[in-house]
Structure 1
Amino acid sequence: MKPTGGKVGTWIKLPALESVQIAAYAGFAFVVVDTEHAPLDVRTVYELVTVADALGVAPLVRVPDGRASGIQRLLDAGAAGVLVPHVDTVEQARDVVRAVRFPPDGRRGAGGTSRAGRWGLLGLDEYVADGAGALCVPQIESRAAVDAAGAIAALDGVDALFVGAADIGLDVGAAPSSPEVAELCGKVLAAAHEAGTPCGAATGTAAGAVGLLEQGFDFVVASNDTSMLAGAARTLVDTVRAGGVR
């Protein structure tokens, strides 16, 4: 069985423009700059987003939390959207939507002199219209979030859900690869699709990405720049040593 058309991206964790360029040249459809689990400051994220956008790769950002001030800065920096971790309830999801959307649908402030407004060259109406396309993606990472997934997916302003199998596993005390976690992730996927909302997930391998797409996930974040570099380095060293070189 072949995957059925989902998009494949990767995490960016290094403060290096080359990571984004390599991801673009490799053919990833999008990148997710990770500010939850990588020590990236706002200026670095701004540069990574700018390079991705220039290369035609959708630049998403995983924010460390749902604070509106942080989300606004990254959207005004030109991010195509945000992934927001640990959204466990419908009310938390509503708060995330409000942070991403302009009034009357949210509370995002006008920052038309930012990169997103072409430094003031866009009129206010055009700036707001462009901003309406920002993607709002809550992450489902606990049993409580799984139970609320259908209602979260059905909220106006939620563009997709993202399943965090590792954190679900931590929450329920099971390995991410366990049948229990797989069942919970499947429930999120089914609830999202029942609401007509795309659903994504992450994996560390190509085989894992194929498997997730075969399950029906609409987008997959496969591996990351640091792990791909580390894996290639370890493979090279192990291969050379296996040939008798020390």
Structure 2
Amino acid sequence: MSAAPHPLAGGVIGTWIKLPAIESVQIAAHAGFGFVVIDQEHAPLDVRTAYELVTVADALGVLPLVRVADGRPSGVQRLLDAGAAGVLVPHVDTVDQARDAVSAVRFPPVGRRGAGGTSRAGRWGLRSREEYLASGAHSLCIPQIESREAAGNAGAIAALDGVDALFVGAADIGLDVGTPPSATEVTDLCARARTAAHEAGKPCGAATASATGARALLADGFDFVVVGNDTSMLAEAAVATVAGVRNGGTP
């Protein structure tokens, strides 16, 4: 029997969810996004809200990922027990930090995630212990590469057992090196991380604000792309609507 395809391979596109509203996830699903990333790092979303957004995404057949605020095991565990398909862990610069992320996601003996079989992930105790623990092997651990140091360590990070993909953050790499995200140095570091992920047999993703940017990233060889976010899409549509009424479409 052939292995199941990686859920983040093949050019799948997703979007950030920053609003505490299930409608954002519903709209993303109806629009055709393959996954959503519920953003706890740069949006004020608490665990209960993330739980509700994950549940809606899962019910609509959209892969629910969560970008956690940090890699603390307690936060990661609660989101995985809420039913998140995986987590993006910000600012993983070193192999040791990547090991910590893996440990937070995986059950023993691979990691240190605690058993919570009475959670949603365990169907509130209706899943057998064996089924619940086996499901944890499919939880996605995705370190974010967001600095020059991280890009240099990307190969070793991607090669770790338990790391399922890398996600490259060009904006933060730009902040780290002191240049705009479009600068050659940043794009070279992103390309280095992408190549390292592929050499380890892992997908690599990135983010962009537009469909044009997403097409470019996919053409460059990124396997999955996060395009825009619910708040910016709403803001841009609002500005365009007002401009269209007041001055014929000129913002």
Taking structure 2 as the reference length, the TM-score comes to 0.95
C-alpha distance in 2, partners of 1:243/1:164? 37
Spell out structure 1 runs of 4+ moving beyond 2 A.
none
**Which of 225, 228, 235 is 2:230 aligned to?**
225
Contact 2:243 2:249 survives alignment (8 Å): no
Contact 2:117 2:124 survives alignment (8 Å): yes
C-alpha distance in 2, partners of 1:244/1:225? 22
Note the 1:174-189 alignment, pairs <5 A.
174-189=179-194
Q: Which amino acid aligns with 2:171?
A: A
**How many residues were matched structurally?**
242
Per the TM alignment, residue 241 of structure 1 is displaced from its structure 2 partner at its CA by 2.0
What residue number does 2:5 align with? Answer: none
What residue number does 1:93 align with? Answer: 98
Per the TM alignment, residue 237 of structure 1 is displaced from its structure 2 partner at its CA by 1.3
Does residue 54 of structure 1 match 2:59? yes
**Which of 155, 169, 172 is 1:167 aligned to?**
172
Note the 1:1-246 alignment, pairs <5 A.
5-243=10-248
Q: Which amino acid aligns with 2:84?
A: A
C-alpha distance in 2, partners of 1:152/1:42? 28
C-alpha distance in 1, partners of 2:10/2:201? 17
C-alpha distance in 1, partners of 2:249/2:31? 32
C-alpha distance in 2, partners of 1:244/1:177? 29
* Secondary structure of the structure 1 residue equivalent to 2:154: helix
Q: Percent identity?
A: 76
Q: Which amino acid aligns with 1:118?
A: R
C-alpha distance in 1, partners of 2:138/2:243? 46
C-alpha distance in 2, partners of 1:165/1:234? 27
C-alpha distance in 1, partners of 2:36/2:67? 10
Taking structure 1 as the reference length, the TM-score comes to 0.97
* Secondary structure of the structure 2 residue equivalent to 1:97: helix
C-alpha RMSD of matched pairs (Å): 1.3
Q: Which amino acid aligns with 1:21?
A: Q
